[in-house]
Structure formats: C-alpha cells, structure tokens
Amino acid sequence: MRPQFKGEMGELEELRELKGDVERREKGQAALIETQARRLDELDRLYRDEALARKKTHNAMEDLKAGRHTAPPARALACHAYHQRRFSG
C-alpha cells in the first residue's frame, strides 16, 4: 500500500469514530429534551390544577363572606313579624 493511502484510511477511520460520537451525543440530547418536555407538560398541568383549586377556594370564601352580610328580604321579615304577633298572644 502507498503511504498516502494508508494515512487517508486512518483519517477516514478517525472521522467515522467522530461521527459516531456526535450521533451518540445527539441521541442523548434528544432523550434529555424529550424527558424535559414531558416534565414541563406535567408541571404545567399541575400548575393549572392548582390555580383552578385556588380560584374555587377563593370564590367559596367570598360566597361565605357575602352570605354573612346579607339581610333577609323585607317581605320575609314582615311576614315573620305578622305571624309572631298573631300567634304569640
């Protein structure tokens, strides 16, 4: 074999090894990105669920506060007073 040809074969083998290394790294990065994307989707879902639960809790508390400050309708009070006067004595 010619010395130049032998050197080119060595260089070709080295390039093939580098190509294999690059492909392995790319596969590893793709797997990592896929894992991170799944985790991000999961965290996003959990955040939306938590925000919805917070809103429901807030609305329930506001409903309880509002119920504490409302007065019965005037007609119901008048009816109640009428029945008290009529049947109490």
Per-residue pLDDT at 34 = 97
Mean pLDDT in residue range 19-31: 97
The predicted model scores a pTM of 0.52
Average pLDDT for the chain: 85
> What DSSP line would sit under the chain, residue for residue?
--HHHHHHHHHHHHHHHHHHHHHHHHHHHHHHHHHHHHHHHHHHHHHHHHHHHHHHHHHHHHHHHHHHHPPPPHHHHHHHHHHHHHHH-
CA distance 80 to 86: 10
Q: Which domain holds residue 22?
A: 3-88
* Domains contained in the chain, number: 1
CA distance 3 to 1: 6
Per-residue pLDDT at 60 = 93
CA distance 28 to 33: 9
Q: Looking at the predicted structure, is the pLDDT value of residue 17 above 90?
A: yes
Question: Which has the higher per-residue pLDDT, 27 or 83?
Answer: 27
